[in-house]
């Protein structure tokens, strides 16, 4: 299954989720109705009608639907800011990019490398300091606004390879479209669980001493207790439904994410080691957070101890067994050896008359080699490569070990000044200004005057970064941009807009917008959510926009005249038997290119696949990929929400 099939499958999963949710709502409403029928018989001695429809049915059905809809709406409003809102609700702390903590710096570097390799914008990073359980999750409503959260237990327990395997697992959830589904599931199930919460509230109010009169209390309390207990019991039924829905939606996705992690890293030893550390830890992957129950379907491991029926994840042993039975055998041998050594130490201590506390640490044994030696890292020169368009598009939404190695090498080759700039939002702004200034042909004095007026506080840092960037190849520009963009999300909305306007003005000082400057501005607008929301559209309706994209890419390739006309018709006939006339030169400017992409972003995943294959075929029409073409192709993929991995080996 490729990226586009995963996206289509995520849409189908959303449809399944809605069907499950509606079924759960109807059954919950029916249970409340039957409960009120029973209350009527018990407390009033009579009730007109049947268990399906009686005197209180209108109130029971309407009230249940209103509570469920209200609970889901309230949760959705809490989560409308996406992953950041959820991370803060979980009590997680945003990791400062300038942190000096070794484990947090390692986490930042591993995520940055995976981001460069996959083409996925780096998520904001959080840590749950109060959680000793070993766990992690990603959340977000959009691939550009995602967060990755790890527990303190995970940072303490994992070595670099294991952390990379877990990060690969979580990136798979981003690439496969699981994040939005998870957040929707969280909001929908909150409505079902609200029934039980209302019931618990009514029971607590019933026993509250704050009543206006003793007679009022005497008359009202039995009814409140009865209704509260009824809703509480129905809430337990809602919890049952919720767990079943989460289990039905989540289990197979965890196997898929494990497989993707191994595909990304080619290091099953690391993922097996991470899973076995969770298995053998005293706290496993369990969370103490009050929202652990509702978050169970989103995390790397189970957040609470569930029975097999309600488990949102396959068992750890089953996940490890899929990777290789040898890992379980080695783990049993090591655990038996540790147990025997502990017993021997206790016997020796007892013979010597020394008490051995249960909490005393067991001495380390010579480690059993779970993990293969990491391959030696070689410096990889980033050079565009030519592959068949279908193969290039098939690689979208995935990572191979060569791409990950290239990303690691690129990240390690970055000068210290660049690493330092990426530790703050101000430094990230200065870096993007420097990238634009480096490619501008405007007079230096004009640029300096502009920067002094707009960004006086950053001028010295921008100048220093310009000198640092002189030694880097231009192919570093887009990866550096993608590393800088997440730092800008720390700015306020108004600051983000002002920065975008100033950067665009700097790019236009020379009255020419290069393909890199265009790519940078488009990616920045997308990252900061400044695009107009796309409307669904069919490919047949979007052919004029597609014609602009194809023609612009061909002109960027240097084609003109009759060859341009022939190539255009040949390419467009791969998607339609009646291609529109080729747009005139004035309609293939970058501004029109941007409008065309906006139109195409409303396509279905399979139609997007056709567009990307056509764009890649267009770029490869002359059997090579130039840097300008690669930058435009990367923009096409990014604005269609299709992450493109590095095109370098």
Q: For residue range 374-395, list pLDDT tens digits in order.
A: 222 233 333 343 455 666 666 6
Query: What pLDDT, on a 0 to 100 scale, did the predictor assign at position 604?
Result: 86
User: What does the pLDDT average to over 81-96?
Assistant: 89
The reported pLDDT for the residue numbered 359 is: 39
> pLDDT at residue 489 above 60?
yes
| Distance in angstroms (rounded) separating the CA atoms of residues 632 and 636 | 6
Whole-number Å distance between alpha carbons of 217 and 239: 31
Give the pLDDT mean for 435-448: 88
* Residue 430 contacts residue 458 (beta carbons within 8 Å): yes
DSSP E strand boundaries for 514-603 = none
The whole-number pLDDT of residue 71 equals 87
Tens digits of residue pLDDT in 106-127: 999 999 999 888 888 888 899 9
Task: For residue 248, give both structure tokens.
Answer: 């039905």
Provide the terminal-to-terminal Cα distance of the chain, rounded to the nearest Å: 24
Contact yes or no for 502/454 (Cβ under 8 A)? yes
Dist. CA 621–CA 553, nearest whole Å: 10
pLDDT number for residue 430: 94
When computed from its CA atoms, the radius of gyration of the chain, rounded to whole angstroms, is: 29
- HSE-up of residue 465 (Cα within 13 Å, Cβ side): 26
Q: What is the pLDDT of residue 363?
A: 34
Active-site annotation holder among 113, 170, 302, 631:
170
Q: In this structure, are residues 269 and 261 in contact, taking their beta carbons and an 8 Å threshold?
A: no
Q: Is 373 left (phi over 0), alpha (psi -120 to 50) or beta?
A: beta
3-state secondary structure of 148: strand
- 623: alpha, beta or left, given left = phi > 0 and alpha = psi -120 to 50? left
120 or 214, greater pLDDT: 120
Angle (deg, nearest 10), helices 444-454 and 425-439: 160
Strands (E), 477-636: none
Sign of torsion over alpha carbons 175, 179, 180, 185: positive
Q: Residue 471: its pLDDT value, please?
A: 76
Q: Which residues of 227-243 are buried (b: 16+ CB within 10 A; e: fewer)?
A: bbbbbbbbbebbbbbbb
What's the maximum distance between 2 C-alpha atoms anywhere in the chain?
A: 97
170 among known catalytic residues = yes
Q: Return d(Cα 547, Cα 206) in angstroms, integer.
A: 69
Q: What is the mean pLDDT of the chain?
A: 80
Give pLDDT, residue 163.
96
The stretch 490-502 carries a mean pLDDT of 87
From the list 19, 35, 16, the residue with the least C-alpha distance to 196 is 35
Categorize the per-residue pLDDT at 274 as very low, low, confident or very high, splitting at 50, 70 and 90.
very high
Contact assessment for residue 151 and residue 134, using Cβ atoms and an 8 Å cutoff: yes
Sign, CA torsion 44/47/51/56: negative
Sketch the domain layout of the chain as residue ranges. Answer: 414-527, 534-639
pLDDT for residue 441: 84
- Between the CA of residue 71 and those of 294, 436, 499, 578, what are the distances in Å? 13, 48, 38, 51
Q: How far apart are CA 267 and CA 372, in angstroms?
A: 8
Angle between helices 444-454 and 493-507 (to 10 degrees): 170
The pLDDT > 70 percentage for the chain reads 82
Does the pLDDT at position 646 exceed 70?
A: no
Q: What is the pLDDT of residues 44-84, one digit of tens each?
A: 655 567 777 877 788 888 888 888 888 888 888 888 777 88
Is 17 in contact with 241 (CB distance < 8 Å)? no
């Amino acid at each position: 299954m490729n990226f586009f099939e995963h996206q289509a499958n995520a849409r189908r999963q959303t449809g399944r989720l809605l069907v499950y949710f509606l079924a759960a709502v109807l059954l919950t409403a029916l249970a409340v109705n039957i409960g009120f029928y029973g209350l009527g018989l018990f407390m009033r001695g009579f009730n007109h009608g049947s268990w399906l429809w009686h005197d209180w049915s209108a109130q029971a059905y309407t009230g249940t639907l209103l509570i469920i809809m209200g609970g889901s709406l309230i949760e959705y409003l809490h989560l409308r800011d996406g992953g950041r809102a959820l991370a803060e609700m979980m009590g997680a702390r945003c990791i400062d990019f300038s942190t000096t903590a070794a484990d947090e710096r390692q986490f930042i570097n591993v995520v940055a490398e995976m981001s460069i390799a996959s083409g996925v914008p780096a998520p904001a990073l959080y840590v749950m300091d109060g959680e000793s359980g070993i766990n992690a999750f990603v959340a977000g409503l959009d691939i550009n606004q995602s967060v990755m959260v790890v527990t303190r237990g995970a940072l303490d327990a994992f070595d670099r390879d294991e952390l990379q395997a877990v990060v690969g697992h979580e990136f798979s959830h981003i690439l496969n479209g699981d994040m939005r589904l998870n957040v929707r599931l969280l909001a929908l199930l909150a409505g079902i669980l609200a029934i039980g919460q209302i019931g618990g509230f009514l029971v607590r109010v019933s026993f509250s001493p704050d009543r206006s009169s003793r007679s009022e209390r005497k008359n009202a309390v039995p009814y409140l207790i009865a209704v509260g207990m009824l809703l509480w019991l129905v809430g337990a039924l809602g919890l049952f439904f919720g767990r079943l829905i989460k289990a039905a939606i989540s289990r197979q996705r965890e196997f898929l994410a494990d497989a993707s992690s191994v595909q990304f890293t080619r290091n099953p030893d690391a993922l097996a080691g991470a899973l076995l550390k969770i298995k053998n830890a005293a706290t496993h992957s369990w969370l103490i957070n009050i929202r652990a129950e509702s978050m169970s379907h989103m995390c790397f491991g189970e957040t609470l101890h569930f029975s097999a029926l309600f488990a949102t994840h396959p068992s750890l042993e089953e996940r490890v067994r899929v990777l290789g039975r040898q890992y379980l055998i080695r783990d049993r041998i090591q655990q038996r050896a540790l147990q025997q050594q502990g017993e021997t130490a206790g016997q020796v201590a007892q013979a010597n008359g020394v008490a051995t506390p249960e909490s005393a640490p067991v001495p380390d044994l010579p480690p059993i080699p779970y993990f293969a030696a990491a391959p030696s890292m070689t410096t990889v020169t980033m050079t565009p490569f030519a592959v068949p368009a279908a193969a290039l598009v098939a690689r979208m939404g995935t990572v191979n070990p060569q791409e990950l190695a290239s990303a690691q090498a690129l990240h390690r080759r970055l000068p210290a000044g660049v690493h330092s700039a990426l530790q703050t939002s101000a430094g990230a702004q200065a870096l993007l200004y420097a990238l634009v200034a480096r490619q501008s042909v405007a007079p230096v004095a004009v640029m300096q005057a502009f920067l002094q007026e707009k960004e006086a506080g950053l001028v010295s840092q921008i100048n220093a970064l310009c000198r640092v960037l002189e030694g880097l190849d231009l192919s570093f520009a887009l990866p550096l941009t993608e590393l800088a963009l997440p730092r800008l999300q720390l700015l306020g909305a108004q600051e983000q807009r002002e920065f975008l306007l100033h950067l665009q003005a700097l790019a236009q000082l020379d009255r020419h917008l290069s393909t890199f400057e265009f790519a940078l501005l488009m990616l920045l607008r997308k990252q900061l959510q400044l695009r107009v929301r796309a409307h669904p559209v069919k490919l047949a309706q979007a052919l004029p926009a597609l014609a602009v994209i194809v023609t612009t890419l061909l002109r960027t390739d240097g084609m003109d005249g009759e060859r341009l006309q022939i190539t255009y018709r040949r390419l467009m006939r791969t998607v339609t038997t009646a291609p529109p006339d080729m747009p005139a030169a004035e309609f293939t400017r970058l501004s029109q290119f941007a409008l065309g992409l906006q139109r195409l972003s409303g396509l279905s995943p399979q139609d997007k696949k056709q567009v990307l294959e056509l764009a890649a075929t267009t770029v490869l029409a002359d059997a090579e990929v130039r840097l300008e073409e690669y930058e435009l192709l990367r923009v096409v993929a990014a604005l269609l929400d299709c992450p493109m991995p590095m095109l370098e080996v």
